[in-house]
């Protein structure tokens, strides 16, 4: 293992997080915590994710917000009924027309919340543990140098006990090992479950689509250093597994963002996939590029 990565792994990995809510409240002091749940058409699962966080509201969590990414289903109604505040992406920074994608709603969530620390959780999680948020908050509230805490976990794939995280294992981790080997001790670089300080999150650009996680990880390393990045074991994480074609587009976005953060630009924004139509294999080209949003501190006039 790369030397810096091995040292980082040893120093900043919590294999069995033990923080209790009482510990966290003591460490939190006067700081505030916002939990943000990005959601696009997640009526089947968003209620369960909100319910897993709701008991912490008023203690270690100060606000619980679902940022709706343009859902056409009952995501917003289900989230509200489960106890979250729902913000529609177009209602935050209304003068800016929303771009598509996950990164866009995470970026807008910075302007829709006030917490000193933000915790993001995906809303396609199946039976998420109520321990996720306390574990993610542990390092960021208790270790002053930490600005980003990634979750890691065992990942089932469909009916199998493991094998999930196909983009992570086949693309993101190999890519980091080549381009930024100091980060190769990060077990789940694409985890959608993470905590970040507002100081970090407002200071860096956000990739609009699925590049947002790799972008934040690389920028946290570039601007705050390895010591600012921690990871905690969240146990098991089950989610909706997307098709290979969907993951191809996701991988394209992750790759383009990683290259850009390493100052290697992608040549085009296109991805061509091949689909079988009436017995023939035909090209199907997507424009997979989503532009970056600038650091939120600039948009809010804080710098």
Q: How far is the CB of 158 from ligand 3PG (least distance, A)?
A: 9
- Applying CB under 6 A, which of residues 77, 142, 143, 247 lies at the interface with ligand 3PG? 247
Q: Which of 122/202 has CB closer to ligand UPG? A: 122
Using CB under 6 A as the binding rule, whether residue 257 contacts ligand 3PG is answered as no
- Applying CB under 6 A, which of residues 38, 115, 134, 164 lies at the interface with ligand 3PG? 164
Beta bridge partners of 236: 154
**Tokens describing residue 20:** 């209790």
The burial class, CB within 10 Å (0-12 / 13-18 / 19+), for 111 is: middle
Q: Which of 28/261 has CB closer to ligand UPG? A: 261
Q: Which does 155 bind (CB under 5 to 8 A by kind): ligand UPG, ligand 3PG, none?
A: ligand 3PG
Q: How far is the CB of 191 from ligand 3PG (least distance, A)?
A: 8
Q: Which of 21/83 has CB closer to ligand UPG? A: 83
5, 217 Cβ separation under 8 angstroms: no
∠ Cα 17 193 147 (to 5°) = 70
Q: Which does 166 bind (CB under 5 to 8 A by kind): ligand UPG, ligand 3PG, none?
A: ligand 3PG
- Applying CB under 6 A, which of residues 38, 165, 185, 215 lies at the interface with ligand 3PG? 165
C-alpha to C-alpha distance for 267 and 291, rounded to whole angstroms: 14
Q: Which residue is nearest to ligand UPG (CB)?
A: 192
Q: Which of 33/288 has CB closer to ligand 3PG? A: 288
Positions that interact with ligand UPG (CB under 6 A): 38-40, 42, 69, 100-102, 105, 122-124, 167, 190, 192, 210, 213, 239, 242, 250, 254
**Tokens describing residue 57:** 């509201």
Using CB under 6 A as the binding rule, whether residue 155 contacts ligand 3PG is answered as yes
CA-CA distances (angstroms) from residue 59 to 25, 149, 154, 181? 7, 20, 29, 38
298, 215 Cβ separation under 8 angstroms: no
Please report, as residue ranges, which positions from 185 to 244 form the binding site for ligand 3PG (by CB under 6 A).
Answer: 190, 241-242
Closest CA to 136 of 86, 50, 59, 196: 196
**Sign of the dihedral through C-alpha 110, 115, 116, 117:** negative
Q: How far is the CB of 160 from ligand UPG (least distance, A)?
A: 16
DSSP, res 1? -
Q: Which of 28/173 has CB closer to ligand UPG? A: 173
C-alpha to C-alpha distance for 253 and 248, rounded to whole angstroms: 9
Using CB under 6 A as the binding rule, whether residue 154 contacts ligand 3PG is answered as no
C-alpha to C-alpha distance for 279 and 256, rounded to whole angstroms: 32
237, 136 Cβ separation under 8 angstroms: no
Q: How far is the CB of 247 from ligand UPG (least distance, A)?
A: 7
**Tokens describing residue 183:** 């980060």
Q: How far is the CB of 286 from ligand 3PG (least distance, A)?
A: 17
C-alpha to C-alpha distance for 72 and 161, rounded to whole angstroms: 32
Q: Which residues bind ligand 3PG (CB under 6 A)?
A: 155, 157, 164-168, 190, 241-242, 247
């Amino acid at each position: 293992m790369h030397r810096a990565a091995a040292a980082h792994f040893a120093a900043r990995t919590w294999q069995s997080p033990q923080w209790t809510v009482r510990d966290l409240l003591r460490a939190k002091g006067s700081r505030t915590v916002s939990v943000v749940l990005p959601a696009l058409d997640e009526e089947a699962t968003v209620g369960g994710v909100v319910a897993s966080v709701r008991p912490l509201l008023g203690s270690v969590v100060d606000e619980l917000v679902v940022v709706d990414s343009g859902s056409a289903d009952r995501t917003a109604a289900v989230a509200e009924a489960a106890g979250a505040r729902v913000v529609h992406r177009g209602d935050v920074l209304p003068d800016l027309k929303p771009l598509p994608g996950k990164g866009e709603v995470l970026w807008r969530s910075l302007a829709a919340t006030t917490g000193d620390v933000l915790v993001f959780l995906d809303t396609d999680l199946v039976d998420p543990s109520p321990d996720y948020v306390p574990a993610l908050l542990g390092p960021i509230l208790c270790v002053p140098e930490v600005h980003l805490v990634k979750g890691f976990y065992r990942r089932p794939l469909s009916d199998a006990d493991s094998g999930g995280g196909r983009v992570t294992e086949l693309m993101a981790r190999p890519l980091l090992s080549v381009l930024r080997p100091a980060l190769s001790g990060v077990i789940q670089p694409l985890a959608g479950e993470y905590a970040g300080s507002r100081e970090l999150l407002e200071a860096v650009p956000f990739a609009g689509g699925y590049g947002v996680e790799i972008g934040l990880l690389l920028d946290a390393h570039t601007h705050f250093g390895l010591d600012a990045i921690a990871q905690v074991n969240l146990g098991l994480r089950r989610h909706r597994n997307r098709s290979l074609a969907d993951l191809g587009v996701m991988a394209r976005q992750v790759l383009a963002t990683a290259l850009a953060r390493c100052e290697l630009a992608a040549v085009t924004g296109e991805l061509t996939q091949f689909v079988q139509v009436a017995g023939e294999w035909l090209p199907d080209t997507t424009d997979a590029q989503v532009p970056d949003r600038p650091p939120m501190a600039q948009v809010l006039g804080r710098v």
